[in-house]
Structure 1
Amino acid sequence: MIHETVVTTVNRDGVVHIAPMGVRYRDGEVILMPFRPSATLDNIVASGHAVVNLTTDVRVFAGCVTGRRDWPTVAAERIAGARLQSALGHLELVLVQECGDEARPTLRMACVHEGRHAGFAGFNRAQAAVIEGAVLVSRLHLLPPDKIAHEMAYLQIAIDKTAGPDEHEAWQWLRAAIAAHAARRETTRTTEESQ
């Protein structure tokens, strides 16, 4: 099972990097599998640390895939790192082993500290829709436009029925990113046809 989280890492200069990432929990460890190239991967290999943030603020997911990565953080408690200020909870991790292939290594991480900061109010369908939309936006270069349009139309139902202000804001960021990608693709197509 893959759990959608936000991973924070710190580079050699102490700059925090925030990235949505699916993680697995296996035998008391957290398994991360970032693709190369990846600032998250580079930072973990260099520092040996990462923080998994558990949040229902889906603006962070949508924001990161649409160029909005400046989210408030606070210092981690047991590692040289940072966590999201808005996290409901977080796991502070140390790298145990890097293995796997060149394109997508597997990072086995041990949890050295777990913090709880707020209660979980329950699932919201619009939050799940925003996360799915963020995954689609992260794959605009891989998926056909009609698949993106079809899936976004279906996800719109959950937004219309259950979204609050944060989910509406995140959804608009995603829709704007899809529209901008389509416009760039159309400009490229028109340019190629005119040559």
Structure 2
Amino acid sequence: MILEGIVTTLDQEGNLNVAPMGPKVDAEMRRFVLRPFQTSTTYRNLKIRHEGVLHVTDDVLLIAKAAIGRPVDPPTRPAEFVSGRILTDACRYFEFRVAELDDREQRTTITVDVIAQGRHRDFFGLNRGKHAVVEAAILATRTSILPLDEILADFRKLAILVEKTGGADECEAFELLRDYVSDVARRRILDSDDRQP
């Protein structure tokens, strides 16, 4: 099963990276698998430090901002057992260490062992608007590999769910993502026009 969450890692100098990620997990959460691309900061940090923290959160605005590279500075505290930071507003967190790292392919396979876990608060609950924003964030990170017309069509469908069932944070997050994808589409059109004779 894929669990959408946020992974925090530190670079060599101790700078925090916050990245949405969907590891493959099981119900026991003793070990899970991350699949970052080698171009990602998460991959580079885990290759150097071999530790991080996975967070279960319902903060879709944070997920959206992190997905498209907007600056984020969420409140954190030091992890207890690994070199890392814990998002203090997350519902649950899992401190982990890398057990195996296979980077023979562009998309790496990193198997990690959970060292410690904790809980800050209850998960908000199932909400179609929140889920629509998560799906939109995933689509926004795929603009280089999926056809933009399909992504834009999916955004039109997702917008209905956000408008009907989302709150202020969900609407703001969705607008950020829609603007980002629209900007990518505009830049592609301009680039193709520039290449025309």
TM bracket, shorter-chain basis: over 0.9
The whole-number CA distance in structure 2 between the counterparts of 1:50 and 1:88 is 17
1:104 paired residue number: 107
2:23 paired residue number: 23
The whole-number CA distance in structure 1 between the counterparts of 2:98 and 2:68 is 29
The whole-number CA distance in structure 2 between the counterparts of 1:190 and 1:180 is 15
User: Do 1:60 and 1:69's aligned partners in 2 also have CA atoms closer than 8 Å?
Assistant: no
Which of 157, 161, 173 lines up with 2:176 in the alignment?
173
Which of 50, 61, 70 lines up with 1:48 in the alignment?
50
TM-score, with structure 1 as normaliser: 0.94
Q: Kindly tell me the number of residue pairs found equivalent between the two proteins.
A: 194
User: Do 1:71 and 1:84's aligned partners in 2 also have CA atoms closer than 8 Å?
Assistant: no
1:143 paired residue number: 146
Which of 55, 63, 68 lines up with 1:66 in the alignment?
68
CA gap 1:162/1:40 in 2 versus in 1, 3 angstroms: same
Report the Cα offset of residue 105 of structure 1.
Answer: 2.2
The whole-number CA distance in structure 1 between the counterparts of 2:107 and 2:182 is 29
Gaps of 5+ in 2: none
> Deviation above 4 Å: which 4+ runs of structure 1?
none
Q: Which range moves more in the overlay, 136-145 or 46-55? A: 136-145
The whole-number CA distance in structure 1 between the counterparts of 2:72 and 2:164 is 29
The whole-number CA distance in structure 1 between the counterparts of 2:6 and 2:87 is 8
User: Do 1:6 and 1:21's aligned partners in 2 also have CA atoms closer than 8 Å?
Assistant: yes
More strand by share: 1
CA RMSD of aligned residues (A): 1.4
State percent identity of aligned pairs: 34
TM-score, with structure 2 as normaliser: 0.93
1:158 paired residue number: 161
Cα deviations by residue, 1:112-139 (Å, 9 ceiling, x for unpaired): 1101000123111111100110111111
